[in-house]
């Protein structure tokens, strides 16, 4: 695919540069956008005041990402942004984006399956990695960590300059983040070698510090007990904002993916097949937007039958998920009712404890009255 520059005037999207949330009330959403606009303007003025607002990378969306990264603290956002600009110069990012050629791309993909495949329900690009299928030794023979890092930077730049604008045009609303699926089937502590740690930490550093707020949600699927032990180590390298977006799932992950991806879409059926053992293939990065269509068009009869079976399975998952949610609601209602009953019983016990002395006094009074009446009764019986 020949890359073409997309200018801002070519993108016609809904108002606001944040991804829209249909669940938010209109007034709340408008106020949210207005507040963000004010903060971006204040951030821009702060950079201008110190002569540190670049012409090329000082756009609204970039400034907003760094504001979110630092919870809208202007001083901290300024430091993070200037650190980002220094890194771009020191690492020659613009030159990597334009001139770096990753000739070993095809060989690397065979040993490290990964790539973009269509979009989620909100129009965000979907990125998939099959980490459980990585052959690290073969990967390091095909490339070096330094060259792969440059390739990763080039892909991140492409996502910002081409993928997000294209998704924004297609969905007619602003798209600025990615939904990611990591298949970790078979991955465990033994896979986290020194080289793997080095690569992971370098990529994590780049993404966290220089491409913040570009992850919408991360699904880790096929996580076994071995990976969960590894996850305890990996999560220490992630910041709280990223951790909040991660969902670690076992082999029964389809129900959760249904929340993000339309089960009726061809891309969901393909995603299911991509995550099935020994059926995963990734297309060339330069033709990624055609990969899913080609796979669908060239599917064999058996693959189509399998897709039909997958859809039946997905329907069962959806029905089961709805049934579980309904049961959970009923349980919550019962728990609330039980809680209220307990409160009422406790209140009744307190009332009983309060009136008990009064009952004792009343009984004693009645007994005393009975004793006082006995002589009178004797006298009356004598008269008769």
Express each pLDDT in 13-63 by its tens digit: 443 445 544 445 565 556 667 788 999 999 999 999 989 999 888 899 999
The C-alpha angle with vertex 85 and arms to 83 and 87, in degrees rounded to 5, equals: 70
Highest mean pLDDT out of 81-90, 273-282, 365-374? 81-90
Minimal CA–CA distance to 152: which of 200, 188, 195, 119?
200
CB atoms within 10 A of CB 37: 14
pLDDT for 28 equals 57
Average pLDDT over residues 144-164: 97
Average pLDDT over residues 175-184: 95
Average pLDDT over residues 264-291: 55
Cβ–Cβ < 8 Å for 171, 123: yes
The Cα–Cα gap between 56 and 280 comes to: 39
Return the residue matching tokens 């990734």.
282
Counting other chains too, the contacts that 75-83 makes at CB distance below 8 Å and 24 or more residues apart are: 77/43, 78/43, 78/46, 78/47, 78/50, 78/52, 80/209, 80/212, 81/47, 82/52, 83/209
Average pLDDT over residues 347-356: 58
Minimal CA–CA distance to 116: which of 161, 169, 159, 171?
159
Cβ–Cβ < 8 Å for 168, 124: no
pTM of the model: 0.67
pLDDT for 263 equals 74
């Amino acid at each position: 695919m020949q890359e073409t520059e997309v200018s801002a005037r070519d993108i016609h999207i809904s108002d606001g540069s944040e991804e829209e949330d249909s669940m938010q009330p209109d007034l709340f959403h408008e106020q949210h956008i207005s507040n963000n606009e004010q903060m971006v303007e204040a951030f821009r003025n702060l950079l201008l005041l110190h002569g540190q607002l670049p012409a090329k990378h000082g756009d609204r969306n970039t400034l907003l990402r760094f504001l979110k990264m630092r919870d809208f603290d202007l001083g901290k956002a300024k430091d993070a942004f200037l650190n980002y600009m220094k890194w771009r110069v020191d690492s020659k990012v613009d030159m990597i984006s334009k001139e770096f050629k990753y000739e070993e791309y095809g060989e690397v993909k065979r040993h490290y399956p990964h790539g973009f495949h269509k979009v989620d329900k909100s129009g965000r690009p979907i990125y998939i990695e099959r980490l459980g299928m990585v052959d690290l030794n073969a990967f390091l023979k095909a490339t070096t960590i330094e060259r792969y890092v440059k390739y990763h930077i080039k892909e991140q730049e492409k996502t910002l300059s081409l993928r997000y604008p294209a998704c924004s045009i297609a969905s007619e609303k602003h798209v600025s983040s990615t939904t990611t699926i990591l298949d970790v089937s078979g991955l465990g502590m033994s896979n986290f070698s020194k080289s793997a740690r080095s690569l992971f930490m370098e990529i994590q550093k780049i993404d966290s510090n220089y491409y913040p707020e570009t992850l919408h949600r991360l699904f880790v699927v096929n996580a076994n007990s071995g990976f969960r032990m590894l996850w305890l180590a990996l999560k220490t390298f992630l910041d709280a904002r990223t951790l909040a977006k991660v969902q670690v799932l076992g082999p029964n992950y389809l129900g959760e993916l249904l929340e993000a991806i339309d089960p009726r879409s061809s891309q969901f059926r393909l995603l299911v097949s991509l995550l099935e053992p020994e059926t995963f293939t990734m297309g060339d990065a330069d033709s990624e937007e055609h990969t899913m269509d080609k796979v669908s068009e060239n599917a064999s009869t058996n693959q189509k039958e399998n897709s039909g079976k997958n859809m039946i399975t997905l329907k069962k998952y959806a029905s089961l998920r709805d049934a579980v949610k309904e049961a959970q609601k009923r349980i919550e209602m019962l728990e609330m009712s039980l809680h209220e009953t307990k409160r009422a019983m406790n209140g009744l016990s307190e009332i009983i404890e309060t009136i008990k002395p009064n009952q004792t006094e009343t009984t004693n009074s009645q007994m005393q009255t009975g004793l006082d009446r006995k002589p009178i009764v004797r006298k009356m019986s004598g008269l008769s």
